[in-house]
């Protein structure tokens, strides 16, 4: 089943769903020409040296003919920044530079290998929303204002933030949105946290001491999805965005049941490639790459003396007695789709719908395949 899913995903996406790949990446002015991979490096760490928006790293790596799986780079490899005929930047392993230390390489197994899904395949469909608790949001640095003395800041503005940041680091500017409420317990699991802009800090700011007052951190706005407002929150750009290069698509080795509680779109029904929010997360041992089925309960039937009727078609007495006796029959639940978890927080998860048999809705069940 997983192998079939991977084949279907690859075929559909290769057929022409690469909107993001058409963009020409902007390389940082201080990007190195060459970089030697160190032990412990991640693709995100390396990409942050070259890109103002390092979460766009798949575009920097996916055009690399030498790295079918970007995980297969090793300490001692020298990466060189080059440009193709269309002027698009790419990183390649420089085979003319001798590696600093020999390391045995692992190779991917044949037909029995676990199905994987490259992030570059689904990145065009992903959003940067996060699910944070009220406490987590309250603890974040926040925007005080800008150099333009306006309430809403845009590109090329400098924004000032209350908090101590790292000079030279990239940050995301986020805005608290609607609560994610668990229908089963009626508790708030977290809050939608939407990315509104990206920025780079050039003054770190300073906390107050007995001798010095608070000094705001200063950031150059790099890109804006919507206008930045006073009070918007700031967090490191890679926080919550460090997704793996390849998702290992597996069925959970434990029983799991939950609900789709929201979607990042405002549609009532949604389908393949839409992003949904689940009321299960790390506390339930969900992990990126977990494949789950989407299910929906069939209607409740009351089998009365005049024959079976759906509950909504029953009379007042039948509806009142729906939970009594043997006349109420819950028809089986049926599978309506499949999804893959790609981002997990403590009590919620984000997943991408990979297949649908019917339109998917908020309130649909999720469970093992």
Q: What is the mean pLDDT of the chain?
A: 76
Domain presence at residue 60: yes
Please check whether residue 125 is in contact with residue 20, taking contact to mean a CB–CB distance below 8 angstroms: no
In our burial notation (b when 16+ CB lie closer than 10 A, e otherwise), range 37-76 reads beeebebbebbbbbbbbbbebbbbbbbbeebeebeebbeb
Q: What is the pLDDT of residues 76-116, one digit of tens each?
A: 778 888 887 777 788 777 766 655 443 433 333 333 344 66
Q: Which domain, by its residues, includes 92? A: 2-105+114-125
What pLDDT, on a 0 to 100 scale, did the predictor assign at position 268?
Answer: 77
Q: Identify the DSSP state of 282.
A: G
Q: In 3D, which of 207, 222, 129 has the Cα closest to residue 168?
A: 222
Of 212, 236, 260, which residue is a domain's last?
236
Looking from the CA of 205 toward its CB, the CA atoms found within 13 Å total: 22
Q: Quick one: average pLDDT of 185-195?
A: 90
Rounded distance between C-alpha atoms, residue 312 and residue 319, angstroms: 8
Domain presence at residue 305: yes
Based on the fold, state whether residues 177 and 84 are members of the same structural domain. no
Domain presence at residue 244: no
Total domain count, the chain: 3
Based on the fold, state whether residues 307 and 202 are members of the same structural domain. no
Q: What is the pLDDT of residues 19-43, one digit of tens each?
A: 334 446 788 888 888 888 877 666 6
Q: Quick one: average pLDDT of 120-131?
A: 74
Based on the fold, state whether residues 92 and 20 are members of the same structural domain. yes
Domain presence at residue 266: yes
Rounded distance between C-alpha atoms, residue 337 and residue 327, angstroms: 30
Based on the fold, state whether residues 208 and 292 are members of the same structural domain. no
Q: What is the pLDDT of residues 149-178, one digit of tens each?
A: 665 666 678 999 999 998 888 888 999 988
CA distance readout (Å), 151 to 38, 78, 80, 144, 227:
44, 46, 43, 9, 9
Rounded distance between C-alpha atoms, residue 322 and residue 327, angstroms: 8
CB atoms within 10 A of CB 126: 19
Domain presence at residue 242: no
Based on the fold, state whether residues 182 and 206 are members of the same structural domain. yes
């Amino acid at each position: 089943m997983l192998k079939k899913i991977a084949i279907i995903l690859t075929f559909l996406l290769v057929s022409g769903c690469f909107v993001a790949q058409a963009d020409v990446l902007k390389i940082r002015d201080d990007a190195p020409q060459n970089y030697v991979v160190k032990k412990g490096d991640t693709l995100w760490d390396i990409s942050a040296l070259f890109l103002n928006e390092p979460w766009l790293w798949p575009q920097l790596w996916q055009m690399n003919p030498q790295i079918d799986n970007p995980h297969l780079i090793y300490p001692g490899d020298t990466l060189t920044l080059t440009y193709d005929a269309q002027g698009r930047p790419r990183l390649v392993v420089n085979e003319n530079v001798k590696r600093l230390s020999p390391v045995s390489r692992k190779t991917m197994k044949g037909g029995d290998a676990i199905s994987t899904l490259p992030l570059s395949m689904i990145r065009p469909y992903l959003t940067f929303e996060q699910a944070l608790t009220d406490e987590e949001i309250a603890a974040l640095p926040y925007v005080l204002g800008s150099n333009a003395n306006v309430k809403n800041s845009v590109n090329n503005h400098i924004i000032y933030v209350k908090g101590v940041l790292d000079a030279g680091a990239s940050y995301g500017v986020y805005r608290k949105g609607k609560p994610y409420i668990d229908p089963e317990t009626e508790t708030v699991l977290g809050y939608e946290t939407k990315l509104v802009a990206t920025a780079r800090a050039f003054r770190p700011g300073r906390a107050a001491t007995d001798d010095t007052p608070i000094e705001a951190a200063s950031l150059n706005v790099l890109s804006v999805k919507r206008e930045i407002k006073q009070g918007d929150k700031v967090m490191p750009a890679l926080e919550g965005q460090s997704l793996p290069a390849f998702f290992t698509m597996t069925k959970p080795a434990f029983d799991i049941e939950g609900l789709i509680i929201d979607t990042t779109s405002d549609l009532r029904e949604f389908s393949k490639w839409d992003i949904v929010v689940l009321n299960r997360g790390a506390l339930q041992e969900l992990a990126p790459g977990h494949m789950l089925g989407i299910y929906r309960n069939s209607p409740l039937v009351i089998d009365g003396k005049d024959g079976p009727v759906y509950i909504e078609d029953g009379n007042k007495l039948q509806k009142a007695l729906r939970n009594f006796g043997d006349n109420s029959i819950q028809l089986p639940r049926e599978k309506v789709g499949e999804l893959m978890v790609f981002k997990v927080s403590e009590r919620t998860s984000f997943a991408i719908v990979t297949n649908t048999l019917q339109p998917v809705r908020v309130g649909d069940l999720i469970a093992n395949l």
